[in-house]
Amino acid sequence: MAVTTSEITSTTHAAFLPTIWSDDTQDALEFSTVIAELVTTKFEAEMKVGRILEIPHRSNMATQTKTEGISNTIAFQAITQTNQDITVSTYEYAACLLNKVVQAQSKYADRAALSKKMGYALARGMEVTLAALAQNFSQTVGAYGTDTDDSQLRRAWQYLADGGFVDEDNDIAWVFSPGAKQSLFWQDRFVSGDFQSKRAIETAQLPNLYGFPAYHSQLLRSPASGQHDNFALHRSAAILIRQVKPTAESQYRIEYNADAMLIWDLYTAVEAEQPAETPVADGTESTLGDSGAVLLKGI
């Protein structure tokens, strides 16, 4: 019988060529969360129980002129005060049902990996909720879809200074999208070695801008493509109350022969109602606003 020349190929030898699964997994990226560290959480300790927190406003009193003489008596001022009601009602969770067969046969530490991803889901949800507050800030500079420049930063700084938030103990931060941050890289006064000890081209980091640290977040609200809500924020201008911080629960479900895994939290994030500095007349109250926050519309 004639013998022909043939090649053993991956097709003819397929039964001997195993599929190998990597020891590691290619995980989805997780963005850093920064805004939760820049707002006030001082009311959390008071909300161990209850659903609504009432924060009274306290206005500044007015001076009055006293004319000499016993007939000119002192007028006692009474200010009508109100309060801000904050309801803790944002109830979020992430959950999965992990089958026991999968756990027995998988080569991966699925339970730990899934727990980590659920924890990130809750942290991300809180960051997005906080970022959404900026769209309602009454003080705004810039325009959507355009670069952020020095004139906008200076105007934002003035808004905060006018409101009395710029002082020796500045507790203020800038938060920019990556697009807005890169638009500042080309402005020499922020990044040039003539003005800064290290150039931004070497570090891809901005220095303090007018005394405030600069952060960036990929989770800022985007009203449309190429648009983001950047902002400057004094810590007191936004309130975060985490009544239940991310809490893990698990339960074996015999009807599924699976482990039910859950992480949940309960919180609220709101703008603070900030009474203006201007003293008020008898029977009235301070104008309420958000003078400790500025929206910087940009890219």
DSSP 11: T
Cα separation, 154 vs 163, in Å, equals 14
- For the record, the structure tokens of 22 come out as 């990597």
Q: What is the CATH number of the domain that holds 96?
A: 3.90.1690
Q: In a 10 Å sphere around its CB, with 0-12 CB exposed, 13-18 middle and 19+ buried, how is residue 268 labelled? A: buried
Within-domain flag for 164: yes
Cα separation, 299 vs 296, in Å, equals 10
Within-domain flag for 230: yes
Helix residue ranges per DSSP H, the chain = 100-105, 110-131, 150-162, 178-185, 188-191, 200-203
pLDDT tens column, 229-281 = 999 999 999 999 999 999 999 999 999 999 999 999 999 999 999 999 989 88
Within-domain flag for 15: no
Q: Report whether 279 contacts 61 (CB < 8 A).
A: yes
pLDDT tens column, 7-21 = 999 999 999 999 999
Residue with tokens 């940009």: 298
Quick one: residue 159, left, alpha or beta (phi over 0 = left, psi -120 to 50 = alpha)? alpha
Within-domain flag for 72: no
Within-domain flag for 68: no
Q: How many domains does the chain have?
A: 1
pLDDT tens column, 137-165 = 999 999 999 999 999 999 999 999 999 99
Within-domain flag for 233: yes
